[in-house]
Amino acid sequence: MSKFFKNIHSVYLMTMLLFIVAAFIIDTPAVLFEGMVAILLSPDILVTDYIYVGGLGAAILNSALTSLTALALLLIFKHDPKSATISNLWLITGFAFLGKNPLNVLPIFLGCWLFAKFMKRDFNTSILTALVAASLSPVVTQKLFIGTESLFINIGLAIFAGVVVGFIFDPMARNILKVHDGYNLYNGGLTAGLLAIIIVSVFSSYGIFYEMNYMWSSGNNIPISIFLVAISLWLVFVGLYGNRNFSEVFKSIFSLRKHQNDYYSIVGNLSYVNMGLLGLLCVAVSLIFDFQLSGLALGAIVSVIGFGANGKQLFSTVSLMLGVFLATLISPLSMRDPSVIVAFFFAACLSPIPAKFGFHWGIIAGVFHIHLATSLAVMTGGVNLYNSGVAAGFVTILLLPIIRAIDERKSERLK
């Protein structure tokens, strides 16, 4: 059993099986089948809440099946797992509640593989980027609904669009990383956002326009909260298994912000404890503020959990959430707005900023993030699911030079 818990792929597989069990507890097989069909035929443009489209059980099942598709890709190419493997797999899991499904991610995976072949490079060097590139999966689905009158031609166009996106995503992501110097954990979001702006602009020139959806589910707070608490406690159990010195465990967890983002290589399975605690924090916050938990909010929380192995921890997450909260108090924004609730959790992608520069900079980053995150989706036509990654990218571009200039000035004064 100890060996099982030390294997990243095994733990993830077991977690997704728990997702499937939860789906069948929530709904009957007939309802799940009907919901999955509705999800697979959904256009997927933001905002497309899969709980709204197919029901909570089907949304959880879709998340598990999409995640297992990504896991199969890693296993087929014998990927050596690390911290980024955990976070990127959980990113797939989270966003499979709001736009990704087992069908629309495959053409993008194929495009990334073809690019690796073109460069005569081992696909393993960019396989995690392929998972992130799936943020543009609505581009694939949209070509089924916006194109010619022929379904077969549209299917071909959809596959072609996904392959092209996957093919060009990796070289873009590698260079865009330099812009924010790793302080935006959702680097793929910024990459996808810039690519989405180009795609939407080109298509609009040919009279093809993407219109935003506004599908938000409600009334599922209790089952979603129970589901998240169960998954979070499972992860805490995985992390604590074989680690009986609880004081040392939590000392390690609360000192994570002093390290680089690669938590798993530093504390090993204890990163699962951090993931579970982040999940419990998000549930607690949603209860305190009486948030209405939609499929997008569920996906956002799941993504926070995933990056508990790769850059997010309690200290930074709290500072960023506080910044978002304060921003809503001094602006027309409302904590009841579903988009604000989602951005409230996604703001944690800026965790490296408060971890490196201090709690106060996390608050400031959170303030900027909420205003950008609630505005940029229109620019990308809704085809980029990682909208908060775009917002975070702009925040880092704005704040990093200012932070470093102030720190440099402080250093000069101390001399």
**Contacts for 397 with CB less than 8 Å, ≥ 6 apart:** 179, 180
One-letter identity of residue 214: Y
Report pTM: 0.91
Round to whole Å and give the CA distance between 291 and 261.
Answer: 29
pLDDT tens across the length of the chain (415 residues): 567 888 999 999 999 999 999 999 999 999 999 999 999 888 767 678 999 999 999 999 999 999 999 999 999 999 988 888 999 999 999 989 988 899 889 999 999 999 999 999 999 888 998 998 888 787 777 655 555 566 677 788 888 888 988 898 888 887 776 666 667 777 676 777 777 777 777 766 766 656 666 778 889 999 999 999 999 999 999 998 867 666 777 777 777 776 667 888 888 888 999 999 999 999 999 999 999 999 999 999 999 999 999 888 999 999 999 999 999 998 888 888 888 898 899 899 899 899 889 999 999 999 999 988 877 766 655 566 667 777 888 888 888 899 988 888 777 676 6
Q: Enumerate helices (H) and strands (E) in the chain, giving the number of each.
A: 21, 0
Round to whole Å and give the CA distance between 102 and 254.
Answer: 36
Residue 170's alpha-carbon distances to 87, 109, 133, 174, 323, in angstroms, are 18, 11, 8, 6, 32
Round to whole Å and give the CA distance between 346 and 327.
Answer: 15
3-state SS, residue 343: helix
Tokens of 174: 């590698």
Query: Residue 307 CB: number of other CB atoms within 10 A?
Result: 29
Predicted pLDDT of residue 381 = 55
Does the bond joining 132 to the residue before it have cis omega, within 30 degrees of 0? no
Predicted pLDDT of residue 328 = 92
Tokens of 236: 């805490």
Query: Residue 331 CB: number of other CB atoms within 10 A?
Result: 13
**Contacts for 375 with CB less than 8 Å, ≥ 6 apart:** none
Q: What's 46's DSSP letter?
A: S
Beta bridge partners of 215: 48
Round to whole Å and give the CA distance between 138 and 42.
Answer: 9
Q: Are 387 and 381 spatial neighbours (Cβ–Cβ below 8 Å)?
A: no
Round to whole Å and give the CA distance between 209 and 153.
Answer: 19
User: Which residue is associated with the tokens 């060009």?
Assistant: 168
- Residue 302 CB-half CA count within 13 A: 31
- Residue 405 CB-half CA count within 13 A: 5
CA dihedral for 363, 364, 365, 367, sign (positive or negative): positive
74 CA to centre of own chain: 18
Q: Are 390 and 188 spatial neighbours (Cβ–Cβ below 8 Å)?
A: no
Query: Residue 106 CB: number of other CB atoms within 10 A?
Result: 19
Round to whole Å and give the CA distance between 236 and 252.
Answer: 14
Tokens of 385: 């699911």
Predicted pLDDT of residue 294 = 93
Q: Would you kindly state where each structural domain of the chain is located, as residue ranges?
A: 2-205, 221-414
Predicted pLDDT of residue 26 = 96
Predicted pLDDT of residue 22 = 97
